[in-house]
C-alpha cells in the first residue's frame, strides 16, 4: 500500500511539473504569439482574459464531472489536451486557429488544475502529513524550466512550434505513462448536513476563496508589473528589470521546498500567518524602495511569503470538507483565476491614476487580510503535524490503473 502511495505521489508530482513547464512556455512567449498571428494591442487583452475565464468554466465543470468520474481520469486526459493546445498555439497561422487553441487550453487547464489539486489533497490525507507544498514546488520548478526554454527560443529566434514541439513530444507520453499510477481518494459521500452544496458550504469556504484571490492578486502583480516597476519607478536598466521575476520564481521554489517541514513542525495556520506577514513586508519594501537593489529584496521576500498561501489553501479546503473535498477544491480553484484576472488591471489602473508605489500597497493590504482568516487553516482532528499524524494507510483509495 505504501508503494501505491509513493508511485501515486511521484506520478502526480510529474503532472504538476509538466503543467508548470507548459504554462510558462505560453505566458512568457505572448509577444511572439502576438507577432505570429498579428494580434493588435487592443485585441490582445481579450485573448489573454479569455484563458482564465474559460479555465474557471473548466474548473466548475470538473466539480460536476467528479461526481461520476474519478479525478485521476480527468487529469489523465486533460493534461494531453493542455499540451496539444500549447502546440496548436505555436503551429497555427490564423486568428481563428489561435482562438480555438487558447479556448482548448483554458478549458483543459481548469480541469487540470482542479483535478491535480484534488488528487494532491486526497494523497495528503492518505499520508497523514503535509505534502501539498511539495507538489507546488515541482510546479515552480517546471515554471523555471519552461521560462528558461522560452528565453532560449526567443534568444535563438526559434519559431514557436520549434520551441514547443520537443517539449510536448517528451512531456505528453511521459504524462500518459505516469497516469497509470495516480491514486484517487476514497469515494466521497456528501453528508446530510449539506457540506458540499448550497449556502452553508460556500459560507464555510468563503474565507479560503478570499485568501486564494488575494494570493493570486499578489502573484499577478509580480508577474505582470515587476519589470516595469523596477525600470520605470526605480530606474534600473532594461536588463536588470528582467531579474525580479526570476528571483521571485526561485524563492517560490525554495519556500515551497521547505514549507511542508514548517507545516509539520508549527502547523498550517502558523505557516500561513508567517507567509502573509513576509509577503506584506515584501510589498512594503517594494513600495518604499529607494533603488533597484532594495526593490529586488522586496520581490525576494514576496516569493518566500506568497508561495505557501495557495497550496495551504487547497489543503485547508480538504480538511474543512473531508467528505466532499473534490467539490471544495474545484470551487476554490475558480478563485485562482479571479485573482489572476483582477490583479494586473487593478495595479495598472491604480498606477496610472495615482502612483505605482501607492498601487503596491493595495496587494499588501489584501494579503494582510489573510491574517484575519488564518484560523480557517488550523488543523482539525486529523491535524498534519508532529504528534498528530494519522496512520499512513488511512483513507487510501484505489489506484487509477484499470479505471
In-domain check, residue 394: no
Lowest mean per-residue pLDDT among 163-172, 182-191, 372-381: 182-191
Residues 5 and 110 in one domain: yes
CATH number at residue 80: 1.20.1250.20
In-domain check, residue 158: yes
In-domain check, residue 402: no
Residues 295 and 363 in one domain: yes
User: What tens digit of pLDDT does each residue of 3-34 get?
Assistant: 999 999 999 999 999 999 999 999 888 888 98
Residues 123 and 236 in one domain: no
Domain boundary among 133, 167, 187: 187
80/76 Cα distance (integer angstroms): 7
116/71 Cα distance (integer angstroms): 8
Q: Residues of the chain with pLDDT > 70: what percent? A: 90
Residues 172 and 148 in one domain: yes
In-domain check, residue 165: yes
Domain range enclosing 286: 193-388
Domain boundary among 143, 163, 187: 187
Residues 153 and 218 in one domain: no
Residues 169 and 201 in one domain: no
Neighbours of 191 (CB within 10 A): 13
Listed in sequence order, the residues at least 6 apart from 67 whose beta carbon sits closer than 8 Å to its beta carbon are none
In-domain check, residue 273: yes
In-domain check, residue 331: yes
Which spans in 28-43 are helix H?
30-37
Residues 181 and 299 in one domain: no
Q: Are 18 and 142 in contact (CB under 8 A)?
A: yes
Greater pLDDT, 115 or 403 = 115
Lowest mean per-residue pLDDT among 328-332, 367-371, 382-386: 382-386
Q: How many domains does the chain have?
A: 2
In-domain check, residue 98: yes
What burial class does residue 297 get, using C-beta atoms within 10 Å of its C-beta: 0-12 exposed, 13-18 middle, 19+ buried? middle
Q: Once rounded to an integer, what is the mean pLDDT over residues 285-303?
A: 96
Q: Are 130 and 268 in contact (CB under 8 A)?
A: yes
Amino acid at each position: 500500500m505504501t508503494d501505491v502511495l509513493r508511485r501515486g505521489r511521484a506520478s502526480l508530482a510529474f503532472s504538476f511539473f509538466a503543467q508548470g513547464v507548459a504554462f510558462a512556455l505560453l505566458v512568457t512567449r505572448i509577444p511572439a504569439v502576438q507577432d505570429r498571428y498579428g494580434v493588435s494591442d487592443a485585441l490582445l487583452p481579450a485573448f489573454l482574459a479569455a484563458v482564465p475565464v474559460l479555465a474557471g468554466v473548466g474548473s466548475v465543470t470538473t466539480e460536476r464531472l467528479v461526481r461520476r468520474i474519478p479525478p485521476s481520469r480527468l487529469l489523465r486526459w486533460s493534461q494531453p489536451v493542455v499540451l496539444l493546445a500549447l502546440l496548436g498555439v505555436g503551429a497555427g497561422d490564423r486568428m481563428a486557429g489561435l482562438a480555438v487553441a487558447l479556448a482548448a487550453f483554458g478549458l483543459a487547464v481548469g480541469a487540470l488544475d482542479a483535478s491535480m489539486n484534488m488528487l494532491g489533497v486526497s494523497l495528503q490525507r492518505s499520508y497523514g502529513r503535509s505534502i501539498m507544498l511539495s507538489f507546488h514546488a515541482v510546479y515552480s520548478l517546471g515554471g523555471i524550466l519552461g521560462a528558461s526554454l522560452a528565453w532560449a527560443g526567443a534568444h535563438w529566434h526559434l519559431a514557436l512550434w520549434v520551441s514547443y514541439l520537443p517539449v510536448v513530444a517528451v512531456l505528453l507520453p511521459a504524462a500518459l505513462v505516469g497516469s497509470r499510477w495516480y491514486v484517487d481518494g476514497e469515494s466521497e459521500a456528501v453528508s446530510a448536513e449539506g457540506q458540499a452544496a448550497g449556502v452553508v458550504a460556500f459560507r464555510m469556504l468563503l474565507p479560503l476563496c478570499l485568501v486564494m484571490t488575494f494570493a493570486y492578486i499578489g502573484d499577478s502583480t509580480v508577474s505582470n508589473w515587476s519589470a516595469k516597476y523596477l525600470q520605470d519607478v526605480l530606474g534600473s536598466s532594461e536588463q536588470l528589470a528582467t531579474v525580479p521575476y526570476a528571483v521571485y520564481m526561485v524563492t517560490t521554489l525554495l519556500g515551497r521546498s521547505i514549507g511542508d517541514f514548517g507545516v509539520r513542525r508549527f502547523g498550517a495556520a502558523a505557516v500561513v500567518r508567517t507567509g502573509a506577514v513576509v509577503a506584506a513586508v515584501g510589498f512594503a519594501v517594494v513600495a518604499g524602495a529607494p533603488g533597484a537593489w532594495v526593490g529586488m529584496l522586496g520581490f525576494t521576500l514576496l516569493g518566500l511569503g506568497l508561495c505557501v498561501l495557495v497550496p495551504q489553501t487547497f489543503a485547508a479546503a480538504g480538511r474543512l470538507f473531508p467528505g466532499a473535498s473534490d467539490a471544495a477544491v474545484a470551487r476554490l480553484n475558480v478563485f485562482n483565476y479571479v485573482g489572476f484576472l483582477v490583479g494586473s488591471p487593478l495595479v495598472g489602473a491604480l498606477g496610472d491614476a495615482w502612483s505605482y508605489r501607492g498601487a503596491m500597497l493595495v496587494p499588501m493590504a489584501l494579503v494582510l487580510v489573510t491574517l484575519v482568516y488564518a484560523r480557517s487553516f488550523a488543523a482539525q482532528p486529523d491535524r498534519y503535524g508532529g504528534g498528530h499524524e494519522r496512520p499512513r494507510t488511512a483513507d487510501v483509495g484505489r489506484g487509477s490503473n484499470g479505471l
